[in-house]
Amino acid sequence: MQTLNTQQQTLVVQTQENEEAAHIVAALRSRPVSVAETGLRPSLLTDLALKTVHFAGELTGQEIAAALCLPFTGVVDSVLASLDRQKLVQVTGSAGFGERAFRYAISRKGTERAREILEHNRYVGAAPVPLESYNRMIQAQSVGRIRIGRQELLEAFAGLVVNDTVFSKIGPALNSGRSIFLYGPSGNGKTTIARRIARLLGRDGIYIPYTVEINGQIIKVYDEFNHRRLQPPDAHQEGQAAPGDGWLEEENGGVDERWVFVERPIIMVGGELTLSSLDLIHNPGTNYYEAPYQMKANGGMFLIDDFGRQQLNPRDLLNRWIVPLETRVDFLSLHTGEKVEIPFEELVVFATNIDPAQLVDAAFLRRIHHKIKVDDPSPAEFSEVFRLVCEQRGVPYEHSSLLHLLQEWYSKPQRALRYSHPRDIVDQVLDIAKFEGLPPRLTPELLNRACDAYFGEL
pLDDT digits (tens, 9 = 90+) for 24-43: 999 999 999 999 999 999 99
Task: Name which residue leads in pLDDT, 57 or 7.
Answer: 57
pLDDT computed for residue 247 by the predictor: 45
Q: Is the dihedral of CA 28, 16, 148, 231 positive or negative?
A: negative
The answer to whether residue 279 is domain-embedded is yes
What is residue 155's predicted lDDT score, i.e. its pLDDT?
Answer: 87
Give residue 249's pLDDT: 47
- Residue 194 confidence (pLDDT) above 90: no
- The residue from 344, 373, 402 where one domain ends is 373
* Residues 202, 298 within the same domain: yes
Q: How far apart are CA 104 and CA 89, in angstroms?
A: 6
* Whether 179 and 61 share a structural domain: no
Residues 6+ apart with CB under 8 A from 136: 24, 28
Q: What is the pLDDT of residue 39?
A: 95
| Sequence-distant (≥ 6) Cβ neighbours of residue 82 within 8 angstroms | 42, 46
In a domain, 390, yes or no: yes
pLDDT at 361: 75
pTM for the model = 0.85
Which pLDDT belongs to residue 9?
Answer: 46
Considering the domain architecture, whether residues 272 and 300 belong to the same structural domain is answered as yes
pLDDT in the model for residue 238: 38
Structural domain that includes position 407: 379-455
Does 335 share its domain with 196? yes
Whether 364 and 384 share a structural domain: no
pLDDT number for residue 458: 54
Are residues 162 and 100 located together in one domain of the fold?
no
Does 27 fall in a domain?
no
Mean pLDDT of 223-228: 92
Q: Does residue 86 fall inside a structural domain?
A: yes
* CATH number assigned to the domain comprising residue 102: 1.10.10.10
Same domain, yes or no, for 397 and 339? no
Same domain, yes or no: 344 and 384: no
Confirm whether 135 is domain-assigned.
no
For the stretch 252-281, pLDDT in tens is: 458 999 999 999 999 998 878 888 889 999
- Residue ending a domain, among 347, 373, 399, is 373
- Model confidence pLDDT, tens digit, residues 363-419: 777 778 788 999 999 999 999 999 999 999 999 999 999 999 999 999 999 999 999
More confident residue, 360 or 126: 126
Work out the mean pLDDT of the chain and round it to a whole number. Answer: 87
- Using pLDDT thresholds of 50, 70 and 90, give the confidence band for residue 457: low
Please give the share of the chain, as a percent, with pLDDT higher than 70. Answer: 91
User: In this structure, is residue 9 part of a structural domain?
Assistant: no
Residue 135: CB partners within 8 Å, gap ≥ 6? 341, 342, 343
Q: Which residue has the higher pLDDT, 149 or 209?
A: 209
Q: Is residue 334 part of a domain?
A: yes
pLDDT score, position 8: 47
293 and 183 both lie in a single domain: yes
Last residue of a domain, one of 340, 373, 406: 373
CATH of the domain at 356: 3.40.50.300
What local confidence, expressed as pLDDT, does residue 5 receive? 57
90 and 108 assigned to the same domain: yes
What's the whole-number mean pLDDT along residues 320-324?
84
Q: Tell whether 187 and 115 lie within a shared domain.
A: no
Q: Is 80 exceeded by the pLDDT of residue 244?
A: no
Domain assignment present for residue 271? The answer is yes
Say how many domains are in the chain.
3
| pLDDT tens-digit readout, 110-133 | 999 999 999 988 999 999 999 999
**Residue 6's pLDDT band (boundaries 50, 70, 90)?**
low
Q: Is the pLDDT of residue 13 over 60?
A: no
* Out of 51-60, 149-158, 212-221, 378-387, least confident range: 149-158
399/285 same-domain check: no
